[in-house]
Amino acid sequence: ALNGHVPVTFVVLSIALMEAILNRKNIVLASIGHEGEEPHAFIEDLPVTHQWSKTWKAEKLFSEYVHRYISPNISVGSPLRGYSELRIAELFTEYSWGKFGKSFSSCNRANYAQGQDNTHLKWCGECPKCANSYLLFAPFVSPHELQAIFNGQDLFTKQSLKPVFEGLLGIGDAIKPFECIGEIDELRTAYYMAKKRWRDEIGSLPFSVPEAEYDYKKEYPVQRWTEEYLV
């Protein structure tokens, strides 16, 4: 939104909640991992987080509101909440890449451009969401496979994305992009994992990135009832 943040996650959950009520359902599930907790910037001491409505605190507040003011019998939450984005990327490549690797997309720009006729999801290969996804999947997918979904492009070497990757990796003077993206240490970890995986096929990667102590397999708090929906 040009004039402020639109809490899209709350909007989508509210629509799903209305659908659940109309269809006499009592469970609303979201697909949101551990994200949104790291500020994108600060205004003096005030943290600014683009994706606040995706945070654990936001999920708990929304769930409490539903129980208190709508129905104590309706539950809203995400079973993926306990996993980092990097861990979710690993699980996706392990269980679903063969079937959905060429048909999914996390690129808002390309799919918004299609309007309502967005039955064939695409990647623009130019935006922070594309760069973020490239980083997250690079440790688990071969260079050839990953570049294939971006029209054969190696996003790491694309000049127009250099400041975007610098912002994602917390290097240089670039700030973290105001998009729904991973945490800096998480993406640094992904980059180091990608360097090891891709070394034999394409050689060195272009960015000098500090190593991060980040346990991407760490499990985070979730609403206990959501755990039964993890398959």
For residue range 101-142, what is the model confidence (pLDDT) as tens digits?
999 999 988 888 887 777 788 999 999 999 999 999 999 999
Task: Give tens-digit pLDDT for 22-44.
Answer: 999 999 999 999 988 998 888 99
**Separation CA 188–CA 171 (nearest Å):** 10
27-29 and 75-77: which strand pairing? parallel
> Which of 83, 85, 120 minimizes the C-alpha distance to 104?
120
| Res 85: pLDDT | 97
What letters, b where the CB count within 10 A reaches 16 and e where it falls short, cover 158-173? Answer: beebbebbbbbbbeee
Q: Tell me which DSSP letter residue 153 carries.
A: -
| Res 81: pLDDT | 96
Contact call for residues 33 and 182 (beta carbons, < 8 A): no
| Res 8: pLDDT | 86
Amino acid letter at 169?
A: L
| Res 127: pLDDT | 96
Q: What is the pTM of this model?
A: 0.92
59 contacts: CB under 8 Å, gap ≥ 6? 30, 32, 76, 77, 78, 81, 223
What is each CA distance from 222 to 159, 162, 171, 227, in whole angstroms? 39, 35, 32, 8
Phi, psi of 28 (to 5 degrees): -120, 115
| Res 40: pLDDT | 86
Amino acid letter at 199?
A: R
| Res 5: pLDDT | 64
| Res 86: pLDDT | 98
Supply the DSSP string of 177-227, one letter for each residue: PSSS---HHHHHHHHHHHHHHHHHHH---S---------TT------GGGG
| Res 146: pLDDT | 97
Q: For each successive 10 residues of the chain (231 residues), what is the average pLDDT?
A: 70 97 97 91 88 92 98 97 98 96 92 80 95 98 96 96 97 90 97 94 91 96 94 73
